Structure 1
Amino acid sequence: MSNLLEIKNLNKVFVSRKSKTKAVNNVSLSLPGDKPITLAVVGESGSGKSTLANLVLDFIRPTSGQILYQGKDLSALKGKEHNAYRREVQAIFQNPFDAYNPFYTVDHAFKQVFDHFDFSLSKEEQRALVEENLRLVKLDPSQVLGKYSYQMSGGQLQRILVARALLLKPKLLIADEPVSMIDASLRVTVLDVMVRLKKELGISQLYITHDLSTALQISDEIIVMYKGCVVESGRAEDVILHPVHPYTQLLIQSIPIASPEEKWQDAPAAEENKNPQAGQEACCFSHRCPYYNSQCAKGQPELIPWKGDHKVSCYRYQNSPGKENGS
C-alpha cells in the first residue's frame, strides 16, 4: 500500500532582488497509508514549518523535489483528481478569528463548503450533517449556530473550523499552530479533539508547532526543523525525551520549568554568530553550534539512523551511529 503522503527531497527557495532564502532545504518525510498518525513538525520561527505546510496544501509550488499523495505527484494532479485532493487534505490555521466574516453568522462557513463542493443534499440533510460534525468536536449546535464569530471564544471558533473540514471527510489535516492563539484553558479541548479524530475517524495529521509539550502530548512522530533543514526525527518520546541534535537539546533546555524555585535562564549557544568562521555552505546550525569543528564546514550532513527509527543530521554521530563519538 502506498503512503498517504510522501515528500521527497523538497526544496523551496524564495528569491528577492537582494537575496535568496532557502525556506525548505531537501526535506523528506512520509505518512503511512495503512494507519493514521500525527506527525509533528517543530522548530522556532523561520525554520520553514509553515512553508512546508503551504507546499503540501498546494498554495505554493516547490522549487524542486516531489510531493506524492497516495503515490501520485501533486504537481501532476488535474481536474477531478486535484479536486479530490482539495477535499481530502484540509487545513486548520493559526488564527481562528481571521477565518470568519464578522458580517455573517458562523453558519456561513459551512454554507461556503456546501456551495463549493457537490454534496447533493437537501437543506435539512445539510443541517443534520453540520450538527453531527459539531457534536464530534464537542460543541452543542444550539449554542453556536446562528451566532456571530465575535460572540464566541477562540477555542469554539477553532473547533467550528475543524467541524467544517470534517464535512469533506478528509484523510489528512494540516494543522498549522492550531492552538497558539487560544487561551491555555481551551487548548486541551482542541488537542483532545485532534486526538479523537485520528483514533475514531482515522484522520492523519501534520501538526505544525513550536510548542514541544503539545507535540509530545498528541504526536506519534516528530521532525525538528532549523533553517529549512530537518535536523532530527523519530518517535515523539525519543526526540523530546532523549534529544540528540544540539539544536533539539537547545529547544528542550529553553522550555521554562514550572517551578517558582527554578530561575529561567537562556540556554547556552543561543547566539546566532557563535562561530563566525562557519561559511554559508556549512551545516545549517553551525553558526550556533557549541560543537562546531572543521568537518561542519563541508555542508549539511545527511539524516542518519541513531537508534531504531530515531535519526539525526549531525557530524558528531556520522561515524558511530547509536554512540556519541565525542568529536
Structure 2
Amino acid sequence: MLVLDSVSKVFPTGAFGRSGVTAVRDVSFAVRPGEVVSLIGESGSGKSTIGRMVLRLSSVTSGRITFDGADIAGLTRSRQLKEYHRRVQGVFQDPFSSYNPIFPADRVLDVVRRGFFPDVGAAAWRERVDEALEVVRLDPGQVRGRYPHQLSGGQLQRLLVARALLLDIRLLVADEIISMLDASTRIDVLNLLADLRARGLGVLFVTHDLALGNYVSDTTVILRRGRVVEMGATATVYADPAHPYTRRLLASVPRLDQRWADLPLDAADTRPCPYHARHPHGGPALLALAEDHHVGCFAEGDAPCQGADGPPA
C-alpha cells in the first residue's frame, strides 16, 4: 500500500539556502493494509518529518513515496491531492490545536462534509457521523454541540479519528497522538488503533515511547539521526535487539523492579558490527539478519565504523 524507497529530506539553511540540514537519510519501509508500523526514536530522529512527507505536508528531497504504486510527489493538481487525502489522513500530538475554541468541537466533522460530500443530505450525513462516532467509542449525544474545553483530550483525539474515518481512509498517520493524554485514556486510544487495524486500516504510528510501540505495532522501525538503524517484526526487535542504539533505548525504559540509576545505560557494546562482517566494502542500507529482522551499521552518526574487527566507533 504505502512504500518509502530511499527517502531523504534536507531542510535548507543559511543565506539563500546554500547550506542544509539532513533530517531524514535514505529511509525505506512499507505499510500494508491492516498493519501498524511504529516509527520509534528520540526527538530529532526524523519521525515526524517522515509523517509529514507521507501526508504531503512536506516535500521529499530524494527518493520516492508511493501509495498503491503511484508516486505521491506527482500529485500536483488539487483534485489529485484531494483524492489522496480522502484515503490518507493524519492525527497529531496536540488535539486542542486542531479545534477553534469559539466553535463546537464537532464542527470539524461538518468541514469534511463541505469539502468532500457536499451532495449528501443533512439526515444521511448525521447518520454517517453517528456511525463514525460509535466506531471510535464516542456517544454522539455527549459530543455533539460541545465546545473543545468541555471535552477531554481523549475525546477530542477520538473525534479527530472519527473525522478521518468519515473519508473511508486506508492509511492513518498517528503522530504522537497519545503523548498528551493521561494513562487511562492512552489505553482507550491504543485499543481503538487495534480495532481499526482489525478493520484493515494501515497505521503509521509515530512515537518515542517503546512500551506503546510494543503494545500496538506489528512492525518496528528504529530511527537514529534520520537513519533506520534497525527494523523488523516488533516481537523480534524487542526480544533480540541487534543494534547498540536499540539496546540503549530498551535499557532506558523505567522498570518497577529496579532503580533507574542502577541500570547500565551507557554500557559499551563490544560486539563487532555484523553489517561490515558481510559487506566490508559497502552494500544495502540495511543488513538482513533474518526474513523479518534488519539492522544497519553500528557507527554513531557520520563517524567511521571499525567494521568486523572491533566495536563501533
SS in 1 for 2:28: strand
Change (3 A) 1:301 1:20: farther
1:247 touches 1:289 (CA, 8 Å); kept in 2?
A: no
Matched, 1:30 2:13: no
Measure the CA separation in 2 of the matches of 1:98 and 1:300: 44
Matched, 1:263 2:259: yes
Q: Which residue number corresponds to residue 320 of structure 1?
A: none
TM score, norm. by length of structure 1: 0.84
Query: Which residue identity is paired with 1:308?
Result: E
Q: Which residue number corresponds to residue 148 of structure 2?
A: 149
Query: Which residue identity is paired with 1:178?
Result: I
**Deviation at residue 82 of structure 1 after TM alignment:** 2.4
Measure the CA separation in 2 of the matches of 1:60 and 1:23: 12
Residue-by-residue CA offset, 1:42-85 (whole Å, 9 max, x unaligned) = 00000000000001110111111111111011111243332211
SS in 2 for 1:192: helix
2:174 touches 2:203 (CA, 8 Å); kept in 1?
A: yes
Q: Which residue number corresponds to residue 85 of structure 1?
A: 84
Worse-superposed segment, 158-167 or 9-18: 9-18
Matched, 1:21 2:18: no
Measure the CA separation in 1 of the matches of 2:250 and 2:48: 21
**Deviation at residue 118 of structure 1 after TM alignment:** 2.9
Measure the CA separation in 2 of the matches of 1:315 and 1:120: 56
Query: Which residue identity is paired with 1:20?
Result: G
Q: Which residue number corresponds to residue 74 of structure 2?
A: 76
Matched, 1:242 2:225: no
Q: Which residue number corresponds to residue 52 of structure 1?
A: 50
SS in 2 for 1:40: strand
SS in 2 for 1:193: helix
**Deviation at residue 107 of structure 1 after TM alignment:** 1.9
Q: Which residue number corresponds to residue 101 of structure 2?
A: 102
Measure the CA separation in 1 of the matches of 2:217 and 2:75: 29
SS in 1 for 2:260: coil
**Deviation at residue 307 of structure 1 after TM alignment:** 2.2
Q: Which residue number corresponds to residue 313 of structure 1?
A: 296
Measure the CA separation in 2 of the matches of 1:154 and 1:268: 33
Q: Which residue number corresponds to residue 254 of structure 1?
A: 252
Q: Which residue number corresponds to residue 175 of structure 1?
A: 174
Measure the CA separation in 1 of the matches of 2:111 and 2:150: 20
Measure the CA separation in 2 of the matches of 1:193 and 1:37: 14
Name the % identity: 39
Worse-superposed segment, 8-17 or 220-229: 8-17
Measure the CA separation in 1 of the matches of 2:232 and 2:95: 30
TM score, norm. by length of structure 2: 0.87
Change (3 A) 1:134 1:291: same
Residue-by-residue CA offset, 1:156-178 (whole Å, 9 max, x unaligned) = 11000000111100000000011
1:13 touches 1:20 (CA, 8 Å); kept in 2?
A: yes
SS in 2 for 1:179: coil
Residue-by-residue CA offset, 1:125-174 (whole Å, 9 max, x unaligned) = 11111111100011110011110010111111100000011110000000
Measure the CA separation in 1 of the matches of 2:6 and 2:215: 28
1:231 touches 1:313 (CA, 8 Å); kept in 2?
A: yes
Query: Which residue identity is paired with 1:122?
Result: G
5+ long unaligned stretches in structure 2 = 300-307
Aligned length: 294
Change (3 A) 1:145 1:182: same
Query: Which residue identity is paired with 1:264?
Result: W
Q: Which residue number corresponds to residue 42 of structure 1?
A: 40
Query: Which residue identity is paired with 1:8?
Result: D
Measure the CA separation in 2 of the matches of 1:83 and 1:232: 34
Measure the CA separation in 2 of the matches of 1:300 and 1:180: 37
